[in-house]
Amino acid sequence: MFFNEFAPLEFNIDEILDLNKKDTFFVSDWNKTEKLIDFPNNYLNPIKNNLVINKNRYYFSDEFQEEKYKFKNSIFKFYNKNINLNNFCILNNGTSGLFIIFLILKNLNNDKALVFTPTYFTHINVFNNIGIKCNFFNVNLVRTGMDIDFNRLENYIIKENINLLVVTDPLFGIGLSIGKENYEILISICKKYNIWIVIDYLYGGMEWDSDNHIFNECFFSFFEKYEKMVLVESISKRLFLNGMKWCIIYANNEIIQNIENLSVSFLGSLTCIQISLFHELYSMKNIKEINEIIHKNIINIKLCYEQIQAMLIGTDYFLSNSNSGYFTLMGIPYYRLNNTKGIKAAEFLAHKVKIITIPHERYGFILDDFYTFRVNLSLKKDELYYNISKML
Protein backbone atom coordinates (compact mmCIF):
# COMPACT_ATOMS: atom_id res chain seq x y z
CA MET A 1 0.00 0.00 0.00
CA PHE A 2 1.40 3.43 -0.79
CA PHE A 3 0.51 7.07 -1.16
CA ASN A 4 1.61 9.46 -3.88
CA GLU A 5 0.53 12.72 -5.36
CA PHE A 6 -1.12 12.31 -8.70
CA ALA A 7 1.10 12.80 -11.73
CA PRO A 8 -0.47 13.14 -15.19
CA LEU A 9 -0.54 9.83 -17.00
CA GLU A 10 2.02 9.51 -19.77
CA PHE A 11 -0.17 7.73 -22.29
CA ASN A 12 -3.43 8.22 -24.11
CA ILE A 13 -5.55 5.09 -24.55
CA ASP A 14 -6.47 6.27 -28.06
CA GLU A 15 -3.15 4.75 -29.10
CA ILE A 16 -4.32 1.41 -27.72
CA LEU A 17 -7.87 1.64 -29.06
CA ASP A 18 -6.46 2.35 -32.54
CA LEU A 19 -5.07 -1.19 -32.41
CA ASN A 20 -8.57 -2.62 -31.97
CA LYS A 21 -9.46 -4.10 -35.36
CA LYS A 22 -11.84 -6.78 -36.64
CA ASP A 23 -9.34 -9.52 -35.80
CA THR A 24 -8.67 -8.35 -32.22
CA PHE A 25 -10.54 -8.92 -28.95
CA PHE A 26 -11.08 -6.05 -26.47
CA VAL A 27 -10.96 -7.83 -23.12
CA SER A 28 -11.14 -4.54 -21.16
CA ASP A 29 -14.22 -3.36 -23.04
CA TRP A 30 -16.88 -1.35 -21.18
CA ASN A 31 -19.82 -2.67 -23.25
CA LYS A 32 -21.80 -5.86 -22.65
CA THR A 33 -21.92 -8.49 -25.43
CA GLU A 34 -23.28 -11.54 -23.59
CA LYS A 35 -26.92 -11.93 -24.69
CA LEU A 36 -27.80 -14.09 -21.67
CA ILE A 37 -27.79 -10.94 -19.56
CA ASP A 38 -29.65 -8.72 -21.99
CA PHE A 39 -32.34 -6.47 -20.50
CA PRO A 40 -35.91 -7.65 -21.31
CA ASN A 41 -37.53 -5.34 -23.86
CA ASN A 42 -41.02 -5.66 -22.36
CA TYR A 43 -40.05 -3.09 -19.72
CA LEU A 44 -39.37 -0.61 -22.50
CA ASN A 45 -42.86 -0.77 -24.03
CA PRO A 46 -44.47 1.74 -21.62
CA ILE A 47 -41.60 4.11 -22.37
CA LYS A 48 -42.57 4.19 -26.05
CA ASN A 49 -46.08 5.31 -25.09
CA ASN A 50 -44.75 7.98 -22.75
CA LEU A 51 -42.42 9.22 -25.45
CA VAL A 52 -45.38 10.34 -27.56
CA ILE A 53 -46.91 12.17 -24.58
CA ASN A 54 -43.77 13.74 -23.10
CA LYS A 55 -41.43 14.30 -26.04
CA ASN A 56 -41.94 18.09 -25.96
CA ARG A 57 -41.37 18.53 -22.22
CA TYR A 58 -38.24 19.66 -20.38
CA TYR A 59 -37.13 17.67 -17.32
CA PHE A 60 -34.84 19.60 -14.96
CA SER A 61 -33.48 18.05 -11.79
CA ASP A 62 -34.52 20.99 -9.62
CA GLU A 63 -38.17 20.41 -10.64
CA PHE A 64 -38.37 16.71 -9.74
CA GLN A 65 -40.48 16.94 -6.59
CA GLU A 66 -43.17 14.72 -8.11
CA GLU A 67 -40.63 12.19 -9.41
CA LYS A 68 -38.84 12.12 -6.06
CA TYR A 69 -42.11 11.68 -4.20
CA LYS A 70 -43.06 8.68 -6.37
CA PHE A 71 -39.61 7.17 -5.85
CA LYS A 72 -39.83 7.63 -2.09
CA ASN A 73 -43.30 6.09 -1.96
CA SER A 74 -42.24 3.03 -3.91
CA ILE A 75 -38.70 2.02 -2.99
CA PHE A 76 -38.52 3.30 0.56
CA LYS A 77 -42.03 2.11 1.30
CA PHE A 78 -41.14 -1.30 -0.15
CA TYR A 79 -38.12 -1.53 2.17
CA ASN A 80 -39.92 0.07 5.10
CA LYS A 81 -37.51 3.01 5.23
CA ASN A 82 -38.00 6.75 5.24
CA ILE A 83 -35.98 9.53 3.63
CA ASN A 84 -36.51 13.25 3.27
CA LEU A 85 -37.11 14.48 -0.29
CA ASN A 86 -34.37 17.05 0.29
CA ASN A 87 -31.77 14.35 0.92
CA PHE A 88 -31.56 12.96 -2.62
CA CYS A 89 -31.74 14.10 -6.23
CA ILE A 90 -31.90 12.60 -9.74
CA LEU A 91 -29.30 13.61 -12.35
CA ASN A 92 -28.41 12.80 -15.97
CA ASN A 93 -25.53 10.43 -15.18
CA GLY A 94 -22.95 9.63 -12.55
CA THR A 95 -19.96 11.27 -14.23
CA SER A 96 -21.75 14.62 -14.42
CA GLY A 97 -23.13 14.22 -10.93
CA LEU A 98 -19.71 13.57 -9.43
CA PHE A 99 -18.26 16.57 -11.26
CA ILE A 100 -20.84 18.87 -9.66
CA ILE A 101 -20.28 17.27 -6.24
CA PHE A 102 -16.52 17.86 -6.42
CA LEU A 103 -17.07 21.43 -7.62
CA ILE A 104 -19.40 22.18 -4.70
CA LEU A 105 -17.01 20.66 -2.16
CA LYS A 106 -14.09 22.59 -3.68
CA ASN A 107 -16.09 25.82 -3.27
CA LEU A 108 -16.54 24.84 0.40
CA ASN A 109 -12.71 24.82 0.72
CA ASN A 110 -12.30 21.05 0.46
CA ASP A 111 -9.31 21.02 -1.89
CA LYS A 112 -7.06 18.24 -0.55
CA ALA A 113 -8.38 14.86 -1.63
CA LEU A 114 -7.24 11.35 -0.82
CA VAL A 115 -8.54 8.94 -3.46
CA PHE A 116 -8.79 5.18 -3.12
CA THR A 117 -7.32 3.63 -6.24
CA PRO A 118 -8.05 2.32 -8.72
CA THR A 119 -10.60 5.01 -9.49
CA TYR A 120 -12.37 6.31 -12.58
CA PHE A 121 -9.92 8.48 -14.55
CA THR A 122 -12.40 11.35 -14.98
CA HIS A 123 -12.29 12.03 -11.23
CA ILE A 124 -8.59 12.82 -11.56
CA ASN A 125 -9.20 15.01 -14.62
CA VAL A 126 -11.86 16.96 -12.69
CA PHE A 127 -9.50 17.46 -9.73
CA ASN A 128 -6.77 18.78 -12.01
CA ASN A 129 -9.17 21.15 -13.76
CA ILE A 130 -10.86 22.66 -10.70
CA GLY A 131 -7.79 22.85 -8.48
CA ILE A 132 -8.15 19.99 -6.02
CA LYS A 133 -4.84 18.51 -4.90
CA CYS A 134 -5.11 14.75 -5.35
CA ASN A 135 -3.25 12.00 -3.49
CA PHE A 136 -3.61 8.27 -4.12
CA PHE A 137 -4.28 5.56 -1.57
CA ASN A 138 -3.36 2.32 -3.32
CA VAL A 139 -5.26 -0.49 -1.54
CA ASN A 140 -3.19 -3.61 -0.90
CA LEU A 141 -4.59 -6.68 -2.65
CA VAL A 142 -4.19 -9.88 -0.67
CA ARG A 143 -5.29 -13.47 -1.16
CA THR A 144 -8.54 -12.89 0.73
CA GLY A 145 -9.40 -9.65 -1.10
CA MET A 146 -8.05 -6.34 0.17
CA ASP A 147 -6.20 -4.96 3.16
CA ILE A 148 -6.63 -1.37 4.34
CA ASP A 149 -4.01 -0.05 6.75
CA PHE A 150 -6.26 2.33 8.68
CA ASN A 151 -3.49 3.55 10.98
CA ARG A 152 -1.42 4.64 8.00
CA LEU A 153 -4.49 6.15 6.38
CA GLU A 154 -5.25 8.19 9.50
CA ASN A 155 -1.65 9.36 9.86
CA TYR A 156 -1.62 10.50 6.25
CA ILE A 157 -4.88 12.43 6.69
CA ILE A 158 -3.28 14.30 9.60
CA LYS A 159 0.05 14.90 7.84
CA GLU A 160 -1.43 16.22 4.58
CA ASN A 161 -4.47 17.99 6.08
CA ILE A 162 -6.81 15.89 3.92
CA ASN A 163 -10.37 17.22 3.88
CA LEU A 164 -11.94 14.97 1.21
CA LEU A 165 -11.89 11.18 0.94
CA VAL A 166 -13.05 9.62 -2.37
CA VAL A 167 -13.92 5.92 -2.56
CA THR A 168 -14.94 3.92 -5.63
CA ASP A 169 -16.98 0.85 -4.67
CA PRO A 170 -16.26 -1.73 -5.94
CA LEU A 171 -12.64 -0.73 -6.54
CA PHE A 172 -12.66 0.32 -10.17
CA GLY A 173 -12.03 -2.57 -12.55
CA ILE A 174 -11.06 -4.93 -9.72
CA GLY A 175 -14.49 -6.06 -8.55
CA LEU A 176 -13.78 -5.79 -4.82
CA SER A 177 -16.43 -4.20 -2.61
CA ILE A 178 -15.29 -2.10 0.34
CA GLY A 179 -17.60 -3.88 2.79
CA LYS A 180 -19.67 -2.66 5.73
CA GLU A 181 -16.97 -3.15 8.38
CA ASN A 182 -14.43 -1.12 6.42
CA TYR A 183 -17.00 1.63 5.84
CA GLU A 184 -17.73 1.87 9.54
CA ILE A 185 -14.04 2.49 10.24
CA LEU A 186 -13.68 4.94 7.32
CA ILE A 187 -16.68 6.98 8.42
CA SER A 188 -15.50 7.05 12.04
CA ILE A 189 -12.14 8.42 10.80
CA CYS A 190 -13.90 11.04 8.65
CA LYS A 191 -16.05 12.04 11.59
CA LYS A 192 -13.02 12.27 13.86
CA TYR A 193 -11.25 14.72 11.53
CA ASN A 194 -14.40 16.39 10.15
CA ILE A 195 -13.68 15.52 6.51
CA TRP A 196 -16.03 14.73 3.63
CA ILE A 197 -16.39 11.25 2.16
CA VAL A 198 -17.71 10.79 -1.38
CA ILE A 199 -18.65 7.25 -2.44
CA ASP A 200 -18.81 6.46 -6.14
CA TYR A 201 -21.23 3.51 -5.99
CA LEU A 202 -22.20 3.58 -9.67
CA TYR A 203 -21.00 0.00 -10.20
CA GLY A 204 -22.18 -1.00 -6.72
CA GLY A 205 -25.28 -2.91 -5.76
CA MET A 206 -23.93 -6.00 -7.51
CA GLU A 207 -22.31 -7.78 -4.56
CA TRP A 208 -22.15 -11.46 -5.47
CA ASP A 209 -23.18 -12.74 -2.03
CA SER A 210 -26.22 -10.47 -1.71
CA ASP A 211 -29.87 -11.01 -2.65
CA ASN A 212 -30.79 -7.32 -2.53
CA HIS A 213 -29.51 -5.23 -5.44
CA ILE A 214 -31.91 -2.31 -5.21
CA PHE A 215 -31.35 -0.73 -1.83
CA ASN A 216 -28.19 -0.86 0.30
CA GLU A 217 -29.51 -0.32 3.81
CA CYS A 218 -26.12 0.03 5.49
CA PHE A 219 -25.44 3.34 3.74
CA PHE A 220 -28.56 4.90 5.22
CA SER A 221 -27.49 3.91 8.70
CA PHE A 222 -24.19 5.70 7.95
CA PHE A 223 -26.05 8.87 6.90
CA GLU A 224 -27.72 8.89 10.30
CA LYS A 225 -24.28 8.86 11.96
CA TYR A 226 -22.46 11.36 9.73
CA GLU A 227 -23.67 14.32 7.70
CA LYS A 228 -20.57 14.94 5.55
CA MET A 229 -21.19 11.98 3.28
CA VAL A 230 -22.24 11.83 -0.38
CA LEU A 231 -23.30 8.66 -2.22
CA VAL A 232 -23.80 8.35 -5.98
CA GLU A 233 -25.52 5.24 -7.37
CA SER A 234 -27.30 4.04 -10.51
CA ILE A 235 -29.51 0.99 -10.99
CA SER A 236 -29.18 1.39 -14.77
CA LYS A 237 -25.52 0.33 -14.49
CA ARG A 238 -26.59 -2.94 -12.86
CA LEU A 239 -28.90 -3.63 -15.81
CA PHE A 240 -26.34 -2.66 -18.50
CA LEU A 241 -28.60 0.15 -19.71
CA ASN A 242 -25.69 2.39 -20.64
CA GLY A 243 -27.70 4.17 -23.33
CA MET A 244 -30.51 5.21 -20.97
CA LYS A 245 -28.76 5.82 -17.67
CA TRP A 246 -29.14 8.32 -14.84
CA CYS A 247 -27.94 8.53 -11.25
CA ILE A 248 -29.31 9.17 -7.76
CA ILE A 249 -27.28 11.25 -5.31
CA TYR A 250 -27.79 11.08 -1.53
CA ALA A 251 -26.43 13.84 0.73
CA ASN A 252 -27.48 16.45 3.27
CA ASN A 253 -30.05 19.13 2.40
CA GLU A 254 -27.54 21.86 1.60
CA ILE A 255 -25.50 19.74 -0.81
CA ILE A 256 -28.58 18.40 -2.61
CA GLN A 257 -29.97 21.91 -3.07
CA ASN A 258 -26.64 23.10 -4.49
CA ILE A 259 -26.47 20.11 -6.83
CA GLU A 260 -29.97 20.68 -8.18
CA ASN A 261 -29.35 24.40 -8.68
CA LEU A 262 -26.03 23.91 -10.48
CA SER A 263 -27.39 21.06 -12.61
CA VAL A 264 -29.63 23.49 -14.49
CA SER A 265 -26.60 25.48 -15.70
CA PHE A 266 -24.05 22.69 -16.08
CA LEU A 267 -26.11 19.68 -17.17
CA GLY A 268 -29.37 20.96 -18.57
CA SER A 269 -32.37 18.67 -18.70
CA LEU A 270 -32.86 14.90 -18.71
CA THR A 271 -34.76 13.17 -21.50
CA CYS A 272 -38.30 11.90 -21.08
CA ILE A 273 -36.90 8.42 -21.87
CA GLN A 274 -34.64 8.58 -18.81
CA ILE A 275 -37.49 9.66 -16.54
CA SER A 276 -39.96 7.10 -17.93
CA LEU A 277 -37.45 4.28 -17.45
CA PHE A 278 -36.69 5.56 -13.95
CA HIS A 279 -40.37 5.17 -13.03
CA GLU A 280 -40.62 1.72 -14.64
CA LEU A 281 -37.60 0.24 -12.90
CA TYR A 282 -38.46 1.64 -9.48
CA SER A 283 -42.22 1.01 -9.56
CA MET A 284 -43.74 -1.19 -6.86
CA LYS A 285 -45.14 -3.57 -9.48
CA ASN A 286 -41.73 -4.21 -11.07
CA ILE A 287 -39.19 -3.93 -8.28
CA LYS A 288 -39.08 -7.64 -7.35
CA GLU A 289 -38.62 -8.67 -10.98
CA ILE A 290 -35.93 -6.02 -11.56
CA ASN A 291 -34.04 -7.28 -8.53
CA GLU A 292 -34.30 -10.84 -9.89
CA ILE A 293 -32.96 -9.75 -13.29
CA ILE A 294 -29.92 -8.18 -11.64
CA HIS A 295 -29.43 -11.27 -9.46
CA LYS A 296 -29.49 -13.56 -12.52
CA ASN A 297 -26.94 -11.30 -14.20
CA ILE A 298 -24.68 -11.60 -11.17
CA ILE A 299 -24.94 -15.40 -11.16
CA ASN A 300 -23.91 -15.41 -14.81
CA ILE A 301 -21.00 -13.05 -14.16
CA LYS A 302 -19.82 -15.01 -11.11
CA LEU A 303 -19.80 -18.26 -13.10
CA CYS A 304 -17.70 -16.54 -15.75
CA TYR A 305 -15.23 -15.37 -13.11
CA GLU A 306 -14.98 -18.84 -11.61
CA GLN A 307 -14.22 -20.34 -15.02
CA ILE A 308 -11.38 -17.87 -15.59
CA GLN A 309 -10.16 -18.54 -12.06
CA ALA A 310 -10.01 -22.26 -12.89
CA MET A 311 -8.14 -21.54 -16.13
CA LEU A 312 -5.41 -19.71 -14.19
CA ILE A 313 -4.78 -22.49 -11.64
CA GLY A 314 -1.14 -23.56 -11.80
CA THR A 315 -0.03 -20.43 -13.66
CA ASP A 316 1.89 -17.42 -12.39
CA TYR A 317 -0.80 -15.03 -13.58
CA PHE A 318 -2.71 -12.81 -11.14
CA LEU A 319 -6.50 -12.59 -10.71
CA SER A 320 -8.15 -10.39 -8.09
CA ASN A 321 -10.38 -12.08 -5.53
CA SER A 322 -13.46 -10.31 -6.89
CA ASN A 323 -16.84 -10.28 -5.14
CA SER A 324 -18.82 -7.48 -6.78
CA GLY A 325 -19.71 -5.95 -10.14
CA TYR A 326 -18.84 -7.25 -13.58
CA PHE A 327 -15.11 -6.55 -13.84
CA THR A 328 -12.14 -8.40 -12.43
CA LEU A 329 -8.44 -7.56 -12.53
CA MET A 330 -5.95 -9.80 -14.31
CA GLY A 331 -2.18 -9.53 -14.15
CA ILE A 332 0.57 -10.95 -16.37
CA PRO A 333 4.15 -11.12 -15.05
CA TYR A 334 6.32 -8.53 -16.76
CA TYR A 335 8.86 -11.14 -17.83
CA ARG A 336 6.22 -12.78 -20.03
CA LEU A 337 5.82 -9.47 -21.88
CA ASN A 338 9.52 -8.92 -22.62
CA ASN A 339 9.61 -6.81 -19.43
CA THR A 340 7.51 -4.11 -21.05
CA LYS A 341 5.15 -2.01 -18.93
CA GLY A 342 2.19 0.32 -19.40
CA ILE A 343 1.29 1.13 -22.98
CA LYS A 344 4.25 -0.89 -24.29
CA ALA A 345 2.88 -4.01 -22.59
CA ALA A 346 -0.55 -3.31 -24.07
CA GLU A 347 1.01 -2.97 -27.52
CA PHE A 348 2.96 -6.21 -27.01
CA LEU A 349 -0.25 -8.12 -26.24
CA ALA A 350 -2.08 -6.50 -29.16
CA HIS A 351 0.59 -7.51 -31.66
CA LYS A 352 1.42 -10.90 -30.11
CA VAL A 353 -2.04 -12.37 -29.45
CA LYS A 354 -4.46 -9.75 -30.94
CA ILE A 355 -5.91 -8.87 -27.52
CA ILE A 356 -6.60 -5.27 -26.52
CA THR A 357 -6.15 -4.29 -22.86
CA ILE A 358 -6.16 -1.00 -20.95
CA PRO A 359 -3.26 -0.66 -18.50
CA HIS A 360 -4.73 -0.24 -15.02
CA GLU A 361 -2.14 2.46 -14.39
CA ARG A 362 -4.64 4.70 -16.14
CA TYR A 363 -6.85 4.37 -13.07
CA GLY A 364 -4.02 5.06 -10.63
CA PHE A 365 -3.20 1.46 -9.76
CA ILE A 366 0.10 -0.44 -9.97
CA LEU A 367 0.75 -3.99 -8.78
CA ASP A 368 4.40 -4.93 -8.29
CA ASP A 369 5.76 -7.40 -10.88
CA PHE A 370 2.52 -7.52 -12.94
CA TYR A 371 1.05 -5.75 -15.92
CA THR A 372 -2.58 -5.42 -14.84
CA PHE A 373 -5.76 -4.75 -16.80
CA ARG A 374 -9.47 -5.20 -16.20
CA VAL A 375 -11.44 -8.10 -17.67
CA ASN A 376 -15.09 -7.50 -18.58
CA LEU A 377 -17.04 -10.52 -17.33
CA SER A 378 -20.13 -9.56 -19.33
CA LEU A 379 -18.50 -10.32 -22.68
CA LYS A 380 -19.52 -13.36 -24.73
CA LYS A 381 -18.24 -16.31 -22.74
CA ASP A 382 -16.93 -18.43 -25.60
CA GLU A 383 -14.94 -15.52 -27.04
CA LEU A 384 -13.69 -14.44 -23.62
CA TYR A 385 -12.51 -17.92 -22.59
CA TYR A 386 -10.83 -18.46 -25.95
CA ASN A 387 -8.87 -15.21 -25.70
CA ILE A 388 -7.91 -15.80 -22.06
CA SER A 389 -6.46 -19.13 -23.16
CA LYS A 390 -4.52 -17.32 -25.91
CA MET A 391 -2.93 -15.09 -23.27
CA LEU A 392 -1.88 -18.19 -21.34
The pLDDT tens digits for 69-92 are 888 888 877 777 788 899 999 999
Mind listing the pLDDT tens digit for each residue in 273-288?
888 888 888 888 898 9
Rounded average pLDDT over 356-378: 93
Q: Confidence class of residue 7 from pLDDT cuts 50, 70 and 90?
A: very low
pLDDT value at residue 4: 45
Query: In this model, does residue 139 exceed pLDDT 90?
Result: no
pLDDT the model gives residue 3:
42
139 touches 366 (CB < 8 A)? no
**Nearest alpha-carbon partner for 373 in 355, 389, 352:** 355
In 43-133, alpha helices (H):
45-54, 65-71, 77-78, 94-107, 121-130
pLDDT-derived band at 198, boundaries 50, 70, 90: very high
Domains of the chain: 10-38+289-391 (3.90.1150.10), 56-286 (3.40.640.10)
Beta-strand pair 318-319/247-250: unpaired
Strands of the chain, DSSP E:
2-5, 25-26, 88-91, 112-117, 133-138, 140-142, 145-147, 164-168, 196-201, 229-233, 247-250, 318-319, 327-333, 355-356, 370-376
